[in-house]
Amino acid sequence: MAGLSLRCGDCGALLKSVEEAQEHAELTSHSNFAESTEAVLNLVCNSCGKPCRSKTESDLHTKRTGHTEFVDKTSEAAKPISLEAPKPFASAEPKEGVEAGESSQPEEMVVPEVDKNLLGELEAMGFPTARATRALHYSGNGSLEAAINWVVDHENDPDIDEMPMVPGNTKVEASKPSLTPEEMKIKAQELRERARKKKEEEEKRMEREKEKERIRAGKELLEAKRIEEEFERKRILAMRKAEKEEEKRAREKIRQKLEEDKAERRRKLGLPPEEPAAVKPPTPVVEEKKSSLPIRPATKAERMRHCLRSLKQNHKDDDAKVKRAFQTLLTYVGNVVKNPNEEKFRKIRLNNQSFQERVGSLTGGIEFLEVCGFEKIEGGEFMFLPRDKVDMVVLNTAGSELNSAIVNPFFGVL
């Protein structure tokens, strides 16, 4: 099939005639042309009749005018291209003394001349010298953007990093800038502005990374502090538990001593000894908490009285505060007795300000609730009485002890 156009081997452009190829070569210094069976498009706008040589031109025309209807007349205008005119890339006429038809000497191939400033900028951006030279040469040696676009379009070419060569006798003039000095200044200002914005974006990105690192370090510090506080809380609870056990043992010794004194007094008075069933169990009762047997209410009552005595003795100078604490505890116990299935009456927030003022900050208040069956949960934030551990006998005993402490003016004095 006859050739319908000339294709530039350097940039891929299709040209209608030899004259167009010659103009293209003068503008771009491209010299690699070949015949192509692909015709140059002839898309005619239905609205204004403007012909467009490519799909890109038709898209640009649509954006500028809004016209979207085109007629493809490529087949009507397609004619075999005439190659009679001399090709723009053909070598100069034979010199005098060289007969027509006689083969000339092989031409010397040299590296094309390109804009040194643009070449330096491309090399500063990290492009190899050969790739930068090839990009400037084949993009027309006009601007930095055109060279970069050419590299992006041809980065997969096998010879992308080979130095381009042109005939030595073809004097490649230094490419004339396609922009005026004022436009060059504006362009340079735009490039500097882009570089500045890129630097600012990089600084912002680094700042974001630093902020993320600061947040992560802060979270780790808070977590370490929380673990340390939790450990300290557990240590204090363990100390309190040991103190309570020591107090229990001391009370048991006192109770045993009282029992012995009582038996001695009965003996001196000539009274018969108490029946064994009426005698309170000795030391093993203290260890009942460790066994699976339930704790007798009498032992619970003693612990409750001890908590209430401690509360009154530690705050004996403020009777109103002590009485308010007793009444608050009586309210908590009474609510559970009346509504054992309601969770809101069986759960107390320890950091509640009202609770702290009335009970939590007073010695013996929280211990009294623990004797009633309340347990600390969620890291010590709440006290909770599970439904299956609601013991009405224990709660009624607690109510009786609180009533006695409220109405007895001599409670805790001795």
- Is the CB of residue 366 less than 8 Å from the CB of residue 360? yes
User: Which uninterrupted H or E stretch holds 71?
Assistant: strand 70-72
**For the whole model, what pTM was predicted?**
0.30
Lowest mean pLDDT among 85-89, 116-120, 136-140: 85-89
The pLDDT of residue 87: 46
Residue 398: name the closest of 280, 294, 291, 306 by CA: 306
Same domain, 144 and 210: no
Tell me which residue range forms the domain holding 200: 196-286
281, 300: one domain? no
Residue 384 in any domain: the answer is: yes
Residue 43's pLDDT band (cuts 50, 70, 90): confident
Q: Is a pLDDT exceeding 60 seen at residue 105?
A: no
Q: Taking all residues of the chain, what is their mean pLDDT, rounded to a whole number? A: 79
For residue range 325-346, what is the model confidence (pLDDT) as tens digits?
Answer: 889 999 999 999 998 888 888 8
Each residue of 157-198: pLDDT tens digit? 888 888 888 776 554 444 444 556 677 678 778 877 888 888
Q: Helices 116-124 and 144-153 sit at what angle, rounded to 10 degrees?
A: 60
Please give the tally of structural domains in the chain.
Answer: 4
Query: Does residue 301 fall inside a structural domain?
Result: yes
pLDDT higher than 60, residue 288? no
Partners of 376 in the beta sheet?
Answer: 383
Return left, alpha or beta for 390; rule: phi > 0 is left, psi -120 to 50 is alpha, else beta: beta
pLDDT band of residue 91 (cuts 50, 70, 90) is very low
Give the pLDDT band of residue 81 (cuts 50, 70, 90): low
| 102 occurs within a structural domain | no
Q: Is 350 found in the same domain as 304?
A: yes
244 and 323 share a domain?
no
φ, ψ of residue 42 to 5 degrees: the values are: -135, 80
Confidence of residue 34 (pLDDT cuts 50, 70, 90): confident
323, 398: one domain: yes
CA 316 from chain centre, in angstroms, equals 56
Residue 184 lies in a domain: no
| Helix, strand, coil share (%) of the chain residues, nearest 5 | 55, 5, 40
| In a domain? residue 375 | yes
Instruction: Give domain status of residue 131, yes or no.
Output: yes
Domain assignment present for 99: no
When pLDDT is cut at 50, 70 and 90, the band that residue 286 belongs to is very low
Least confident stretch, 39-43, 150-154, 386-390 = 39-43
Statement to judge: residues 18 and 56 lie in one domain:
yes
Most confident stretch, 34-43, 279-288, 333-342: 333-342
- Which CATH number does the domain housing residue 152 bear? 1.10.8.10
Residue 326 sits in a domain whose CATH number is 1.20.58.2190
Asked if pLDDT for residue 6 goes beyond 60, the answer is yes
Specify the range with the lowest mean pLDDT, choosing from 51-65, 256-270, 375-389.
51-65
Helical ranges in 116-180 per DSSP H: 116-124, 129-138, 144-153
Same domain assignment for residues 303 and 328: yes
One domain, residues 301 and 387 = yes
Same domain, 281 and 316: no
What CA–CA distance (Å, rounded) separates 226 from 222? 6
Q: Which of 62, 77, 92 is the last residue of a domain?
A: 77
Residue 239 lies in a domain: yes
